[in-house]
A and B are shown apart, each in its own frame.
Chain A
């Protein structure tokens, strides 16, 4: 997912390091985000997702590395590049004495202000309560207001930290539609989310972060297929099939729906089929099982954790 040919990187992060006290939370993080791309940032709690986002927004000092947005550097003392950036980090801040509309009016640029506010309010389905005091908002309403604040000025780069938190299914769909539409118009998004199934629907690419390292950067589809394809094999005699495959040194797991075979090498499927045919075990069906992002992610993080523990 390095900068692609023909696209311009709006955000570039190089060798980013960050420690809190004696604990290093980011280890030489590198990535680039192209114009009009939607990148998902995933990782377990404490992996460093919010720290990366805060560093990109110049909110925290870093211990080395460079961040540039549109060729301009960003640091805690250099904020010029953030002019065209919208963000929602961790949770939406709410002034209890302002209405939703007043929140948007407060920070929205003057140019087309009323039009931009109306547009984002309608797109996020906030019309009914936008003129009500924000202190009475539910978690989901506050979340939508935070997202609206990030998007109202049509920034070139949008950073959203767990934007689906507290949103109902309709709001999640509305947000997904807005993101895809804005991305088609050239806006770039960096989004972290624990709801991987939703991220899968909206992101073009994914960065997997674990223990402060980028352990995978790829397209969404490539991540879903990471770890090899998975097949479900139905046979007339599963017990005999497991024994035959064991002799052929092929590992499968037995489930009520059939035998699950993970393609850990190029010849695994052929070897398995040859072993079953050689023992005259009837194969009723072979099905390619689609692996979702969540499974791939959990496998990857678990694998990385084991590697880390061996180090």
Chain B
């Protein structure tokens, strides 16, 4: 398994897109931080810091693109047979790809955190408005910060498992990218509509899009009144849907003919 994960990371490391994605996230964070530093009235600095100056949202888009391609590109390049005729099982090949994606996501997350902290610490205008030892939403700032990162990771894993499923069912990564982007945007842009639907028909709360709001509810527990789900329910549901999509993606991958 170690060998397989190493091979997947080798491929990721040699893809230009991996580094372009990382560069875009970092540049976006720096630009966002500089804009907020100059015009704090546009957005609260603590809110921006919690979201790593837009890095948390953008890295989800980068990971959607990476996830969409990790299996479908093997079919597109005709390399899937070389990958599967070896002594490894399909399950091992699949798990190695998932592990490589998790490592990439964690690296991106770590970079986003480092850049977020770095910009706050080296930019006086930001440093002056973020009190790392202070409070945020009635809890210690650093507590809220790490909760937000954990929630962001959970949301990302949920949407990536769905993207992986779509990419194994359909043969093109474009469809998987589109599904991921649309799913992510719908969860946020149309969250008002979603919450209205939940208020009207309570059973709607169990749909997977609701659990994409876990990140928000972790920071603002009062969101439970709108989602009609407690925070532990949101966390559990998020993990369950991630595992369900992941298992379905594996079953779909196992059935794919080569």
Contact = CB atoms under 8 A, between A and B. Distances in A.
Contacts of B16: 97
A274 interface: no
B11 A82 contact: no
B15 interface: yes
Interface in B12-64: 14-16
A58 B85 contact: yes
Contact of B87 (A82, A89, A91, A105): A82
B138 interface: no
Contacts of A282: none
B89 A98 contact: no
B7 A106 contact: yes
A60 B257 contact: yes
A59 B78 contact: no
A102 B14 contact: yes
B79 A93 contact: yes
A59 B84 contact: yes
Contacts of B15: 97
Interface residues of A, number: 29
Contacts of B7: 106-107
B87 A79 contact: yes
A82 B89 CA distance: 11
Contacts of A96: 77
Given A79-B88, A83-B87, A98 B14 contact: yes
Interface in A173-190: none
A106 B10 contact: yes
Contacts of B86: 79, 82-83, 107
Contacts of A83: 86-87
Contacts of A76: 90
Nearest to A135: B77
Contacts of A9: none
A33 B172 CA distance: 39
A59 B82 contact: no
Contacts of A60: 257-258
A79 B89 contact: yes
A306 to B, nearest CB: 33
B82 A93 contact: yes
A81 B78 CA distance: 23
Nearest to B80: A93
A57 B85 contact: yes
Contact of B85 (A59, A91, A94, A97): A59
A90 B89 contact: no
A97 B14 contact: yes
A154 to B, nearest CB: 15
A95 B85 contact: no
A103 B88 CA distance: 18
A264 B89 CA distance: 52
A85 interface: yes
B81 interface: yes
B17 to A, nearest CB: 8
Interface in A72-92: 76-77, 79-83, 85, 87, 89-92
Interface of A: 54, 57-60, 76-77, 79-83, 85, 87, 89-98, 102, 105-107, 149
Can you list the 4 inter-chain pairs with the closest CB atoms, starting with the nearest? A93-B79, A93-B78, A57-B85, A83-B87
Given A59-B84, A95-B11, 12 more contacts: A54-B81, A77-B89, A79-B87, A79-B88, A87-B81, A89-B81, A90-B81, A93-B81, A95-B14, A97-B11, A106-B10, A107-B7
28 contacts: A54-B258, A57-B85, A58-B85, A59-B84, A60-B257, A60-B258, A76-B90, A79-B85, A79-B86, A81-B87, A82-B85, A83-B86, A85-B85, A90-B81, A91-B78, A93-B77, A93-B80, A93-B82, A94-B77, A94-B78, A97-B14, A97-B15, A98-B11, A102-B10, A102-B14, A105-B10, A106-B11, A107-B82
